[in-house]
Amino acid sequence: MDKTRRNLIKGMLTGGTLLALGVPGMAPAIIVNPVASGSVHPSRLLLGNTPISEVFIKGANAAWAAHTHSQQGLLPIAKLEDILFDNPAGTADLLRQPRPLRWIAITDEAHAAILTELIRNIDGRLLALGFHIYSANDALIPLRHRWTTASPAYSVGEKLATMLIQNQPQFSIVENFLEKPVVRNEDEALPIAGFSAYRSTEQDIRDLHCAGLLPSEANVLIGEKTAHSWQLRSSGTASGGPEVPKLENWVEMTSFALVTTALGINSHQTSCTSRAFVCRSNQRNLHTEVFAGTHFVSFIFDV
């Protein structure tokens, strides 16, 4: 097993705990070439052992209908349940389909480590790996997402942030990219609704999008141990957000954003090694916290 894949599996085994502590816990994924914007991939949902599967399906089908104009029915689903533990070979056979498929999967942390190994064994290409948690005991940033992706072409963060900011007063989204795209300068500083955008002045380029707090505060809240110098790039004066169906909670929004990315419907890219969206405001949470304490792992991968 090569070093990159070995580190990925190690990261899977520890990433959930590190995320709960606010510490970056991700290791490199398998790098592949980005897809062309607007191309819709043959895709399927893979649902593991989590209590939020039905809610996740609702957001996924909303994205599928929005981007395929409802002409292809509902997004096909495969349910793992306990087969991943009891019959991993059967799961591998399930993932091998007659034609290339893009899978969007969710699991608990125990199943995630096994699924990662199966993806490796069947020569799958891991495009995005995310940890998601709503910690009821964290009064500052209870809702946290952390992704490692092959490149910004598979970024979920911007799509999700522009939805969450409309009704989630405290959240953070951190993305680490393994490969930077070549982006035109005029595309670099497009404003994102509700956020002020900053870029680090160091050689290791980082982007930080803040709503309701300064970049120095946001840097601490996402678990960064090193202080950075930040340069303002846009003031966050853009209004409005993405046109999406009515979604009831953060799990549905996460699902919608994941499927949108998996289908190849990409927002503008940026050439940075990592970026984060941090929101902390005094507005009232418009959604009930029925999923407080929920945590799960997400995947986008090709087989």
Q: CA-CA distances (angstroms) from residue 213 to 88, 225, 256, 260?
A: 46, 18, 27, 29
Residue 15 has pLDDT above 90, yes or no: no
User: Cα separation of 94 and 246, whole Å?
Assistant: 33
User: Cα separation of 2 and 105, whole Å?
Assistant: 24
pLDDT digits (tens, 9 = 90+) for 238-266: 555 556 678 989 999 999 999 999 988 86
Q: Which helix (H) or strand (E) holds 200?
A: strand 196-200
- Going by the DSSP 8-state scheme, the letter that residue 56 receives in this structure is H
- Asked if residues 239 and 147 have their Cβ atoms less than 8 Å apart, the reply is no
Encode burial over 212-251: b for 16+ CB neighbours within 10 A, e otherwise: bbebeebbebbbbeeebebeebbeeeeeebbebeebebbb
Nearest to 92 by CA among 114, 125, 62: 114
- Asked if residues 84 and 106 have their Cβ atoms less than 8 Å apart, the reply is no
For tokens 């951190």, the residue is 174
For tokens 């349940």, the residue is 81
Half-sphere exposure of 49 (CA within 13 A, CB side): 14
User: Cα separation of 281 and 276, whole Å?
Assistant: 16
Q: What is the pTM of this model?
A: 0.83
pLDDT digits (tens, 9 = 90+) for 29-88: 333 333 344 456 788 999 988 889 999 999 999 998 888 765 556 888 888 866 666 777
- Asked if residues 102 and 42 have their Cβ atoms less than 8 Å apart, the reply is yes
- Give the model's pLDDT for residue 277: 96
